[in-house]
Amino acid sequence: METASLKTKIIAKAKEVGIDKIGFTDATPFDYLKESLETQQAAGHSTGFEHPIMADRLYPDRIFDQPKSIISIALAYPSSVKDSIAQDKNNRRGALARASWGIDYHHILRDRMAQLIDFIKAETQDATFKPMVDTGELIDVVTAQRAGLGFIGRNGLLITSEFGSYVYLGEIITNIEFEPDQPGEFGCGDCYRCVNACPPQALLGDGRLNGRRCLSYQTQTKGYMPLEFRRKISHTIYGCDICQLVCPYNKGIDSHIHPEMEVSAAEVQPELKPLLTISNKDFKNQFGHMACAWRGKKPLQRNAIIALANYRDQTAIPKLLEVLEMDTRPMIRGTAAWAISQIERYYQPSIIECVAKHLAKETDPETIDEMSAALASLKAKRLPKDQL
């Protein structure tokens, strides 16, 4: 089949299977990114979540036999929930970033791409394909920009004209040669809103980011969260949406196209206290279908403890003491001790005694440091007014 008419058919089919935007680029190397990636790596800006072999990210022919084109796809996701939930001071809630709302997007994109590939296979002979989402070798935003889906903003995200940056991206390498689309043109102009709004100043201003400073990364690590980021995550226990929320291209954008991405406020603003002692089974039931569960429950529990500290939630202290007493993971115990020291306003001998007792049992050096600092902070507090 002549590939121009195949391309037209694929575009029509994409719409039919629920792909919101599609573009085509050739499979020539992305070697013009090499220097920038090397600089980023040398500067320690990589997170380790990227594909580990740089050459595989730049040269499609290293990961696919005779690649000719890359098909890039985007699915738009909602930026708001349709219901709301009242704030309850006795039952504080955290927040999940929008990219984690609903069924894990990796599954949704894989399904859409599989449908598209089946269609193309039925239309052609000897065609080969390699679909990728997020954890694949190629860099999603770069491929999408080259395939004309949009441009890469100063926030490092792909910005489309129809759906702003609220899109999930995937791509398919193939041995079919298609006419490439025009790459997206940079559209930030003089705007630096995202760069200025980023709480840890992770954005470098040219579309690149220091991934290790990004709160989205920080909420996904498994160890202690460095102190400087704890206040900055506020009540968001997974991801960060700030550089999307401030972007003028996202103003008024709220795409409710895919039923799998629809959620209730209660789902994406989970109660924090119950999360601290949630069983594996309940965690799987409540969060297992969402992207935020990919690192297991530990990072979310740590972040929930931090969010309670950021609320200065006095009602959380009994639960935090329970965690200190019962949790088998040193990092969770240490973070709980820190949170208690943040929330407690007064010199409370019973709490001091409790933290000191647990500190005496700790053997993990980082946890000893964390608990020692918490203990010192608790001891330095003033007496309650009625005891002055």
The site string for ligand SF4 over 116-155 (x = CB under 6 A, - otherwise) reads: -------------------------------------xxx
Which residues on neighbouring strands pair with residue 100, listed in sequence order?
A: none
Q: Which residues are catalytic?
A: 134
Q: Does 245 bind ligand SF4 (CB under 6 A)?
A: no
Q: Are 172 and 129 in contact (CB under 8 A)?
A: yes
E strand or H helix that includes residue 151: strand 151-152
Residue nearest to ligand SF4 (CB): 153
Q: Please calculate the CA angle 341-345-337 and round it to the nearest 5 degrees.
A: 15
For ligand SF4, the closer of residues 310 and 367 by Cβ is: 310
Query: CA-CA distance, 118 to 108, in Å (whole number)?
Result: 16
Which residue in the set 13, 51, 110, 193 belongs to the binding site for ligand SF4 (CB under 6 A)? 193
Q: How many CA atoms lie within 13 A of 340 on its CB side?
A: 33
Query: CA-CA distance, 298 to 319, in Å (whole number)?
Result: 16
Minimum distance, C-beta of residue 322 to ligand SF4, in the bound complex (Å): 31
196-225 binders of ligand SF4 (CB under 6 A): 198-200, 202-203, 209, 214-216
Q: Does 331 bind ligand SF4 (CB under 6 A)?
A: no
Minimum distance, C-beta of residue 369 to ligand SF4, in the bound complex (Å): 25
Q: Does 79 bind ligand SF4 (CB under 6 A)?
A: no
Q: Does 263 bind ligand SF4 (CB under 6 A)?
A: no
Q: Does 246 bind ligand SF4 (CB under 6 A)?
A: yes
Three-state SS at 338: helix
The two tokens of residue 311 are 């609320």
Q: How many CA atoms lie within 13 A of 260 on its CB side?
A: 17
Name the residues that contact ligand SF4, by CB under 6 A.
153-155, 188, 191-194, 198-200, 202-203, 209, 214-216, 240, 242-243, 246-249
